[in-house]
Amino acid sequence: MNAIITPSVAREKALQALGQLPPFNPVLAKLMATLAREDVMLTDLADWIEKDAVLAGNVLRIVNSAAYGRSASVSSVRQAIAILGTVKLRNIILAMQVARMMTQLKLPKGWSDTRFNQHATGTALMADLLAQYMPVDYPEGAFIAGLMHDLGKLMFAVGLPEAYTEVCKMQKESGRPAVECESELLGVTHPELSLAVLEKWQLPVPIRNAVRYHHAPEESTAALLSLSRAIQLADQAVNQLGITLFPVDTPPTDPSSLLEAAGLKNKTERVLDAFQKDFSAMKSGI
């Protein structure tokens, strides 16, 4: 099928959707600035969260959820940070704040912001776990890269809703990968568009590259897994678990074989258990 729109026009219209995104709120802006740091001060993090009543309430709800099985209720943000750790809590807040920002977009009929946010968060959590249990280059970028990996699809849906509906229809009917259908019909793919978004947001280059190449990662070595490959694995694993952007006809499956073949081996069960725990706690907040 011939392209229904030229690549330059498709890219321009999709990127125009960026103008519909609200600016980063103060908490998100500060968290974005800490992505390369592991030493975020507990007091600073608590101060940022406590200034946002909705965010603080969601943090406490998550730490008190059944997934964490605490016998005593946690009533303060500072106590929640002490329990979860600053890095994990930073990731939780990033997911919630990005989800909040995305829900302010005008989305086309048939697009579920809940499904989008849950798939993005699931991929982020899985990528972060892979980076903890496997030697991944730039592991500190795994969560945010997973969170942002499908931003291009969102920009397509907002900027080119009718054209992207055709892309989704082709993908479902043909069973071909999304990037092939996007390239054929629009002349530009969602990873390319995601890259443009992350460049605009000035995220670190390793995160940009991981998102850009998550459907075609460089060959990984036995010693080190590329971040792009980790995002690809995480994306595939959460899709197998049924946490998909669009409804599918096939039932969820166990991604253990996928992860074991990628080198996770005897750590697979531990990773999947940790994923289910964290995703169960987070999904209702996004």
pLDDT digits (tens, 9 = 90+) for 185-209: 888 899 999 998 898 888 889 999 9
pLDDT for residue 284: 73
Rounded mean pLDDT of the chain? 87
Going by pLDDT thresholds of 50, 70 and 90, the confidence category of residue 3 is very low
pLDDT in tens, 132-188: 999 998 998 999 999 999 999 999 998 998 888 889 889 989 989 999 999 998 888
Within the chain, which residue ranges are assigned CATH 1.10.3210.10? Answer: 1-21+108-286
Q: At what angle do helices 42-50 and 53-63 cross, to 10 degrees?
A: 120
CATH match for 1-21+108-286 among 3.30.465.10, 1.10.260.40, 1.10.3210.10, 3.40.50.920: 1.10.3210.10
Q: Give the rounded percent of residues in the chain with a pLDDT score beyond 70.
A: 93
pLDDT for residue 4: 59
Cα(32)–Cα(43) distance, rounded to whole angstroms?
Answer: 17
pLDDT for residue 223: 58
CA distances from 45 to 7, 58, 89, 139 (A): 42, 15, 9, 21
Residue with tokens 């990773």: 271
Given CA atoms 152, 156, 157, 159 in this order, what sign does their dihedral have?
positive
Cα–Cα–Cα angle for 71, 77, 80, rounded to 5 degrees: 40
Cα(59)–Cα(210) distance, rounded to whole angstroms?
Answer: 28
pTM: 0.90
